[in-house]
Structure 1
Amino acid sequence: MGTHRALVARLTDEVDRMRRGRIAAPRGALLRVLGRRLLERAVESGVLVRLLPGVYAPADLATDHRVLCHAVTLASRGRAIIAGRSALHLVNDAYPAPRVVQVIVDPSSHAPRAPWIQARRIPAPGPAWTLRRCRVLTPPDAVVDAWARAPVERRRAVLYDALWLRCAAPAAIAEASSGRGKVPQRAELLAILGEFIDGAQSPGEVMARREVFRHRRYDEFERQVPVVGDGRGRPVDMLHRRARLAVEIDSEAYHGAPEDVARDHARDVELSALGYQTVRYRFRDLRDRPEWCRRTLDRIVAVRLRDLA
């Protein structure tokens, strides 16, 4: 009885260790801790599952993207480099994980195969680094790889998400792109990044200008201009002077600190005192429901022009 309890405790401790670290484990390490019979029982009972040959994880972590990335690193002995959106998810948990683990494998190397692994057989674009026990592309290279893998209609969203979450700096991404031999739609990628290098403050600002409010009916809006009153200039993302309307973009993500929120609130009050209504659009609104953003802004402009007539 005592021996059984000791075995159960040993297995529980090991599984808890893997859960706490959100990691997989190689068979050799598990054999040293559990022994062959206890490992076999753990697999038979469904406590542990085999993710790849010689690599195991707790059953409740079998679909955890971070654990799957670690399993690929273990099974390939570091030869498969975590890339693309998988790498960006490791950089920032808030970056959406893809349905498959995206990796880069040198054409001369072997990598594990599984339906949930998407491998590009190309030389690594640059040095990898270790992150969360995985070999991972650097963030700028990961962004370029994610852009290259994405369907054409999804590429801009992949980039904007990475910029919004500050996974990598725009200039570093541009440098990584320029250092590669072939990048699909490189000119489009560099054009977006160039807006940041030229002074754009946030992904929402660029998305609003290039994607959401780019139609001719928005030509009357001035971009990044100050509203002057009481001897002070208050910068505004988009300004419609006839409608006395100020549009602010992205404040939730890029002005989240209490002092930033207080400053934005004070500016809204000051703009109201000057006769301007302030409307704010979040990055998520621009990304997920651009038509709603256009529809509501069109209505607000129409109402303001009517009321001011």
Structure 2
Amino acid sequence: MTHDLPVLVGPEGWTTWKALTARVDRKTVAGWVAGGRLQRLQPGVYALPAATRDWRVRVEAAVRACGGVASHRSALALWGLLPPGSAVHVTVAHHRSGRGTDGVVLHRTRELEDCVRRVDGLPVTSVQRALVDCWGRPGGLQQAELRAAAIDAVRTRLCSPRDVLQEVGRRPCLPGRAALVELLRLLAEGCRSELEIWGCLHVLRGPGMPAFTLQRPIEVAGQRFLLDAACEEVLLAVEMDGAAWHGSRQQRERDIRRDALLATVGWQTLRFGYRRMTSEPEDCRRDIRSVHAARRRLFGLDGVR
């Protein structure tokens, strides 16, 4: 009898030994494996050769074989926060074996059920759990990559700084804990990029600077904007323009239109590019203080604190 192997395996490109041998005798399946028509991904899990090159297929196979959930870098990749790594990370309950297989790094934990989510049907640890897991065991990732993942997770509302901080609370001995807590504090205050973090620490909070609110929402002419930093006292907005995003002509034109709309309701906008803000922070502070003082005189606030 001739079998249509792709049909037997199914549209996902992988299946289990149990499912195959329920329809085909073991000798035939073993012959497919020996001949290279099927490849063993994990114990009891087999795939068509083309499917084995698909990272997601390898994650599904590892999760199925280990009875766990995708975690660490693999979870962050599934959440769209990092590119996939060469190894697949899976977390299982603490009573399970901690031995992984080729290409699979296995982690054990006593606290798993409350952090399991699903991405396109695949069990995966929550964003905040994956971030903290990777922060403590980066596995070759640079801290800059992990910081970017945390910032993107908060900016895209996959989690909140408070969510991550609660997860950090479970790890009193987490390596680099103080740096992560400081990052979360800045994110909680409204920073949404490394440039905004730099600007907050080195410019907006410099000596003699007025008080600013980060990510202040405002609606003008039916359009809603978020001001990077806003001094309510004198309606002064500070925008921190990243080189990649604000370098295009179209974006510059949008910025000009936005600033003009804000001016119609009394707001003055100061814009600082990445290069100037990071190389001349004192000059940026001087400009802000000067405009703030002029706005105070304009608003009749001299002598009023």
User: Does residue 18 in structure 1 map to residue 17 in structure 2?
Assistant: no
Q: 1:69 to 1:113 in 2, by over 3 A?
A: same
1:167-217 CA deviation, whole Å, 9 max, x = no partner? 3222111112113343222222222222333x40x531xx21435785579
Shift in alpha-carbon separation, 1:178–1:277, aligned structure 2, 3 A? closer
Change in 2 beyond 3 A, CA 1:265/1:112: farther
Pick the structure with more helix per residue. 1
Q: Which runs of 5+ in 2 are unaligned?
A: 231-236, 246-251, 288-305
**Within 1, Cα distance between the matches of 2:204 and 2:167?**
36
CA distance in 2, matches of 1:102, 1:211: 33
Residue-by-residue CA offset, 1:122-164 (whole Å, 9 max, x unaligned): 4335535352554432332222112211268514234234334
Q: Is the 8 A contact 2:73 2:89 kept in 1?
A: yes
Give the alignment's Cα RMSD to 1 decimal.
4.4
Equivalent residue runs for 1:1-309 within 5 Å: 3-4=1-2, 7-8=3-4, 11-19=5-13, 24-76=14-66, 78=67, 80-90=68-78, 92-93=79-80, 95-111=82-98, 113-124=100-111, 127-129=114-116, 131=118, 132=120, 134-150=122-138, 153-154=142-143, 155-197=146-188, 199-200=189-190, 203-204=192-193, 207-211=194-198, 224=213, 236-237=227-228, 246-248=239-241, 266-270=257-261, 293-294=274-275
Identity level (%): 23
DSSP 3-state at the match of 2:95: coil
CA shift for structure 1 position 28: 0.3
Q: Which amino acid aligns with 2:137?
A: R
Cα distance change, pair 211–39 in 1 and its aligned pair in 2 (3 A): farther
Query: For structure 1, which runs of at least 5 residues remain unmatched after alignment?
Result: 253-260, 281-292
Change (3 A) 1:62 1:295: farther
For 2:177 and 2:73, locate their aligned partners in 1 and report how far apart those are by CA, in whole Å: 18
Does the C-alpha gap of structure 1 residues 113 and 276 become closer, same or farther in structure 2, counting only changes over 3 Å?
Answer: closer
Could you tell me how far apart the structure 1 residues matched to 2:199 and 2:94 are? 41
TM-score scaled by length of structure 2: 0.64
Q: Distance in 2 between matches of 1:143 and 1:217?
A: 28
Cα separation, partners in 2 of 1:203 and 1:47, compared to 1, 3 Å: farther
TM-score (norm 1): 0.63
The aligned amino acid for 1:203 is R
C-alpha displacement at 1:55, in angstroms? 1.0
